[in-house]
Structure 1
């Protein structure tokens, strides 16, 4: 007696399979879903010098703590102690959350595309490419926008360094309750709180735009502190350099002979350093407001609006009860837009006031 063989195709198939004669049913799902669950990006990462939990934490801390922390006491002066404390905690939580949803989306795209790691712009490209049909044609434009934003704002925030750091980890320790991201952002928020609170408490209404200007010139300890800050900014500048160099080099390396790669990289790095230095020289007293302007536009966009929009696209078919994910991301986007507009306005106003 011949046996009949039944073949079940899993592609785009969602039904049940009959096991024996007792009608036990199991969901099959689609082939893409099964493959996505089976693929673990961390198992496919070939990193020559992988980062440990502590190493990634320290690197992220160094990249995120820039010279901007020195201006926090001035922000507390403008807002007051109570609003400053609450606002700092709120912004810290919000930024942590938006980075978290962006990293979750990146890992999901890694599983979907079977790639061990994706950087910021690649993540955006894949999300838009696999998003709603009406958005897919804008995938490359979205990638270019993010890359341009990272190039322009690499020195005023550490968001561009998060993806390169996560790519160097071969264990899933970046996210989670006590993951690298949460612990680092908690420490950063505490440092910003302490600097803002005690800085304003010490100098009150005479708090300068940068707290170092309030330090007494005649005291040795104050001068040592200024030297330490200068050295910290100097070395942080080199760390931040990774992002623009990586983006630029990937764009031009294919057009350069391999035997000239070393010389070309050296020339590229030297050229960008000279370019950044020239901007600082010609900006003069406007350098602070200029950095604030770039930060207000691109950090509000890349740090708040882009993650919120991407979270909406990646969950387009599952926005939750009453579309709560959509409304939540809309509120975050509006908040980011408000920050960009308000920050730009006050940065430009500061430039105008310095001229007059």
Structure 2
């Protein structure tokens, strides 16, 4: 008699109900999730590495010199390395858990949301009832994370355009005016129907951001300070969480790890000591460290929240770089915006069955409008980036992958061993979440209450409109 034991998983994966099946029979055909995949256009290891670099090397790199300024040169270097290791580790264990769950539920692809729900559904009996909650936690965290990111993009674009226009017109206006000015083109871009139609815009964005960063690096490598003459430690240790939060925001790409793995020709090559993930994140980490280090060594305590604000204002090339980066950020906005659109529209589309296309267009416009409104309310990029990094990426990119690993391996590994192995990561995530959120909220409060008694050493160290001696 067969000894099959089944229990229902409360999940929908690719619109199908799955069951966990534990088999003792010897005649069951072995299941290989990687051979079961039927990708029409699978990516090679090299192509996946390129996609990983594209996902991780974004506009957040412009804030890395500021992150070094918050922590000091030596501590900033150490903090960036630690953050890179932890972000890579958490991405690694998320994909590793997915590979285990493939065999448990006999499927060949999963999203981050699916991994979270199925891990809980197959975890200890006491947590199985939380599988739906786990799914919604990850889903809405992804929404908040990417929605916050696109709001940051409008601030970055507006800041770049402001600096260029004011340099040539000598007429100063509030940054909020420039942020509002990007609303019409963003609404039009947001109405583009699908990602395939956005492919040409993505290609243009890559060319522009590469050109802008190239010009920026050119100006950073001249007239650098002696590194040992700069601060090696934070002005105040309460600034350190800001450094971690900004670095996590800039480097984290946890939401794209499963899609990258799902589309690989050889998905088993994604992990491993010399796997695609480790190779790609090593390159990303070195680039971020390089920009942060040379940016702070070049400008010292005059470094701005966005490094392009430090570039010479009386030369054409830096202004061209700012325009390139500003346009590329707007184009990147739309790519990130589609993540929010998919999650948000799937949640409400059942209420708009009639005239779906009209309501879909209105919903797209509404999302763009709200993202710009948030940027207008909080136009200072430093605390805004820090808040998103602390509140969203700390949970989504650090804490939840550890939780998923614990509930995935509960049968095969001692719970005590799992917790001890991830102890440092858990402490790091909690500190980045708690202290980073607290200091960022204080900084945002000081924007609106500059003359209040709020005193906090983790405030914005440097104003992006400072006069920088060249």
| TM-score class normalised by the smaller sequence | 0.7 to 0.9
* Runs of 5+ unmatched residues, structure 2: 6-21, 150-248, 451-470
Larger helix share, 1 or 2: 1
Q: Which residue of 2 aligns with 1:276?
A: 371
Going from structure 1 to structure 2, the CA distance change for 1:334 and 1:261 (only over 3 Å counts) comes to same
Equivalent position SS for 1:38: coil
Q: In 2, distance between residues paired with 1:239 and 1:92?
A: 24
TM alignment of 1:18-97, pairs within 5 A: 31=23, 38-97=30-89
Match for residue 387 of structure 2 among 281, 293, 299: 293
Contact 2:3 2:24 in 1 (8 A): no
The answer on 1:198 being equivalent to 2:302 is no
Q: In 2, distance between residues paired with 1:188 and 1:141?
A: 33
Contact 2:124 2:407 in 1 (8 A): yes
Aligned length: 330
Contact 1:319 1:326 in 2 (8 A): no
Q: Which residue of 2 aligns with 1:346?
A: 439
Q: Which residue of 1 aligns with 2:263?
A: 168
Equivalent position SS for 2:110: coil
- Structure 1 length normalisation: TM-score? 0.83
Q: 1:6-37: CA deviations, max 9, x gaps?
A: xx74547xxxxxxxxxxxxxxxxx51798999
Q: In 1, distance between residues paired with 2:382 and 2:357?
A: 34
Q: In 2, distance between residues paired with 1:232 and 1:175?
A: 31
Equivalent position SS for 1:291: helix
Deviation at 1:340, TM superposition (A): 0.6
TM alignment of 1:149-164, pairs within 5 A: 149-154=141-146, 155=149, 156=249, 157-164=252-259
Q: Which residue of 2 aligns with 1:182?
A: 278
Q: In 2, distance between residues paired with 1:319 and 1:208?
A: 47
Contact 1:312 1:329 in 2 (8 A): no
TM alignment of 1:210-289, pairs within 5 A: 210-253=306-349, 257=353, 265-285=360-380, 287-289=381-383
Q: Which residue of 2 aligns with 1:110?
A: 102
Deviation at 1:212, TM superposition (A): 1.3
Deviation at 1:39, TM superposition (A): 2.1
Worse-superposed segment, 303-312 or 64-73: 64-73
Deviation at 1:246, TM superposition (A): 2.9
Q: In 1, distance between residues paired with 2:302 and 2:379?
A: 22
Contact 1:36 1:112 in 2 (8 A): no
Deviation at 1:279, TM superposition (A): 2.0
Equivalent position SS for 1:116: coil
Q: Which residue of 1 aligns with 2:426?
A: 333
Q: 1:203-236: CA deviations, max 9, x gaps?
A: 0111112211111111122112212222332232
- Structure 2 length normalisation: TM-score? 0.64
Q: 1:159-209: CA deviations, max 9, x gaps?
A: 212222222223223222333211221111011100111000100111112
- Higher alpha-carbon Rg: 1
Equivalent position SS for 2:85: helix
Contact 1:89 1:189 in 2 (8 A): yes
Q: Which residue of 2 aligns with 1:16?
A: none
Q: 1:288-332: CA deviations, max 9, x gaps?
A: 423321220111111111111111111112335x93222122332
Q: Which residue of 2 aligns with 1:20?
A: none
